[in-house]
Structure 1
Amino acid sequence: MGSLSLQQIRKSFGATDVLKGIDLEVGDGEFCVFVGPSGCGKSTLLRIIAGLEDTSSGAVMIDGTRVENTAPAQRGIAMVFQSYALYPHLNVRDNMALGLKQAKTPSAVIDSQIAKASAMLSLEPYLKRRPAELSGGQRQRVAIGRAVVRDPKLFLFDEPLSNLDAALRVNTRLEIARLHRELSATMIYVTHDQVEAMTLADRIVVMNGGVIEQVGAPMELYNAPANLFVAGFIGSPKMNFIDGARLGESAKTIGVRPEHIAVNGTEGTWRGTVVHAEHLGADTNLYLDTEKAGLITVRLFGEYAAAPGEELFATPDPARVYRFGEDGKRVG
């Protein structure tokens, strides 16, 4: 299929270093997600893999072959963008077939590939429609289908769900996960949404400021973050960070996830006052102003009756407390 090797990838725009020496290996059939805040370099890295951006230095290897000087069309990749980039005057079938026709693919192969992709993505009823007659989710499925028919070595996704509403994001996310299982294809997926990363990835690459902070399976990053940045980025609501000195700890910073804190009306580790309560049905998020730990977030499963001004005691699970040193790296 399509293995990927990135070796000391650097990219600068003038005096601005955007990528600062990226090393990464992606195996055949792996679903790898690049995640990080805006400006971290994840989309630039994807464009370098695609050949839409040159490197300042370093090697890009697809299936063991260096491709930095290879045109995008010759790299064996297919890319799905945030915008659907469909031709409005062409119907769904012709949008999906266009790249194959330009490559002078035989008609019988085009028909076979379109039939396969449209069945996978439930697009058969829409093949004669034009993009304007489709919903946002259907248009994105067409864009994905256009990539599938090319049978690429690598699928590259650049924030493909950003333009969809919440319900369509969930549905399309499921489609992409199912597609990966059916094709056993290598997929590189860029997003700023850590929920997408956690639910889709075999491995997540957490980027920040042009460097890779940590690479690992979703639950590995959740349970064993390497540093403050990863700990704060993975998980929702985000991890509570407390000055170690406030708690009499030798570590610079203490971290505890909201879901690893219990509350009690009569006793506990930190006494506090409810500042705000978010009643979400399946969960309740409480914001407590505590005497020792400051303002913390507590996530409780199910409905918990609490109102602003109510006094509660919060107790962190001692087995799920994280400690970080002066340099931000986890020390315990």
Structure 2
Amino acid sequence: MGSLQLKSIRKAFGTHEVLKGIDLDVTDGEFVIFVGPSGCGKSTLLRVIAGLEDATQGSIRIDGQEVATVPPAKRGIAMVFQSYALYPHLTVKDNMGLGLKQAGAPAQEIETRVSKASKMLSLDPYLARRPAELSGGQRQRVAIGRAIVREPKLFLFDEPLSNLDAALRVQTRLEIARLHRELKATMIYVTHDQVEAMTLADKIVVLSAGAIEQVGSPMELYNHPANVFVAGFIGSPQMNFIDAGKLGESGAKTVGIRPEHIALSRESGDWKGKVVHVEHLGADTIVYMETEATGLLTVRLFGEHQYATDDVVFATPDRNSMHRFDANDRAIR
């Protein structure tokens, strides 16, 4: 009840083309996340799906029905925004049920749906409160509840966690994951935070400059990036990129190795260098070092390690985890 097909979607503002021919299939019940840097077109694409922006060209089908000319209210979607967009004078209960009330739903149906969503989101103690009496995390849960009561074909999330602090982001992320499992609903979610993408998505869509760079599961993108852009965008800290010529790698322009796939030693290894900075994070130690072969190299070590600036160390990459890219920055399989 919630499939989506996009075909040749283009969107231009005057002479500036923001979306450059997007093709995408989302199956019923999938959790799909759009990621990419600021200005890549991910929020514009979400708004085109919602009907808040008109596509300049292309087809949008929800459950097989063409909706490119259908108004937002008739598309069977519900959207959760970065800003909570709650009515300050209404209670939590009334905010959640307002859309149904405006659509003319019977009072008992509104009561039933609001009660169900409230229980899912643990909002029962707050139903009589107004938004000003709630924390940021509680307000976002009300906004999500307002979407749930509509029982849409598609849930659309536009960076819903970006206004929350770190602890609340983790908590709300877990709640959204649980809701997806319980509702078995189709969800399309925009974020610039790759941790959200890697932990929530069934399928990630990586966008750059209005075009799709790669579509795949989180681990497909991590293990088999299609190009340098995806390889550098997925994973934290970012993948190291090294001039293949410096390593004697024939047939490739660039070699990539993730920081977590490099071992460090004080005695011996492939690349000798000097530590320029260390980040002690408790669970991880991030070591930045300069080597003649690679230039600046980032190494991620599990646990606490006592390296310090100016230490002489040796780095050894896991050769089976190295990525090779051609002159067009495409992965060499």
TM class, shorter-length: over 0.9
Give 2:293's aligned residue.
Answer: 292
Distance (Å, rounded) in 1 between the aligned partners of 2:53 and 2:118: 31
For 1:69-90, what per-residue CA distance to the aligned partner results, in whole angstroms no more than 9, with x for missing partners? 1010000000000000000000
For 1:151-180, what per-residue CA distance to the aligned partner results, in whole angstroms no more than 9, with x for missing partners? 000000000001000000000000100000
Give the deviation of 1:318 after TM superposition: 0.5
Give 2:185's aligned residue.
Answer: 185
Give the deviation of 1:61 after TM superposition: 0.3
Give 2:32's aligned residue.
Answer: 32
Q: Secondary structure at the match of 1:140?
A: helix
Distance (Å, rounded) in 2 between the aligned partners of 1:77 and 1:17: 25
Which letter does structure 2 place at the counterpart of 1:175? E
Give the deviation of 1:248 after TM superposition: 1.6
Give the deviation of 1:201 after TM superposition: 0.1
Q: Secondary structure at the match of 2:168?
A: helix
TM-score for both structures, normalised by structure 1: 0.99
Give 2:254's aligned residue.
Answer: 253
Give 2:129's aligned residue.
Answer: 129
For 1:226-282, what per-residue CA distance to the aligned partner results, in whole angstroms no more than 9, with x for missing partners? 000000000000000011111122211110000000011110000010000000000
Which letter does structure 2 place at the counterpart of 1:145? G
Give the deviation of 1:140 after TM superposition: 0.1
Give the deviation of 1:207 after TM superposition: 0.3
The unaligned stretches of length 5 or more in structure 2 are none
Give the deviation of 1:328 after TM superposition: 0.5
Give the deviation of 1:135 after TM superposition: 0.3
For 1:44-83, what per-residue CA distance to the aligned partner results, in whole angstroms no more than 9, with x for missing partners? 0000000000011000000000001101000000000000
Distance (Å, rounded) in 2 between the aligned partners of 1:318 and 1:248: 14
- 1:263 maps onto 2:256 in alignment: no
Give 1:309's aligned residue.
Answer: 310
Distance (Å, rounded) in 1 between the aligned partners of 2:292 and 2:238: 21
Give the deviation of 1:291 after TM superposition: 1.6
Which letter does structure 2 place at the counterpart of 1:70? V
Distance (Å, rounded) in 2 between the aligned partners of 1:247 and 1:61: 49
TM-score for both structures, normalised by structure 2: 0.99
Q: Secondary structure at the match of 2:320?
A: helix
Give 1:273's aligned residue.
Answer: 274
Match runs of 1:223-262 below 5 Å: 223-250=223-250, 251-262=252-263
- 1:324 maps onto 2:325 in alignment: yes
Distance (Å, rounded) in 1 between the aligned partners of 2:107 and 2:14: 47
- 1:113 maps onto 2:113 in alignment: yes
Give the deviation of 1:40 after TM superposition: 0.4
Which letter does structure 2 place at the counterpart of 1:302? G
Identity of aligned residues (%): 71
Q: Secondary structure at the match of 1:12?
A: strand
Give the deviation of 1:314 after TM superposition: 0.1
Match runs of 1:74-93 below 5 Å: 74-93=74-93
Q: Secondary structure at the match of 1:259?
A: helix
Distance (Å, rounded) in 1 between the aligned partners of 2:244 and 2:2: 46
Which letter does structure 2 place at the counterpart of 1:189? Y
Which letter does structure 2 place at the counterpart of 1:322? H
The unaligned stretches of length 5 or more in structure 1 are none
Give the deviation of 1:95 after TM superposition: 0.3
Q: Secondary structure at the match of 2:288?
A: strand
User: Over aligned residue pairs, what C-alpha RMSD do you find?
Assistant: 0.5
Distance (Å, rounded) in 1 between the aligned partners of 2:209 and 2:182: 35
Distance (Å, rounded) in 2 between the aligned partners of 1:149 and 1:55: 28
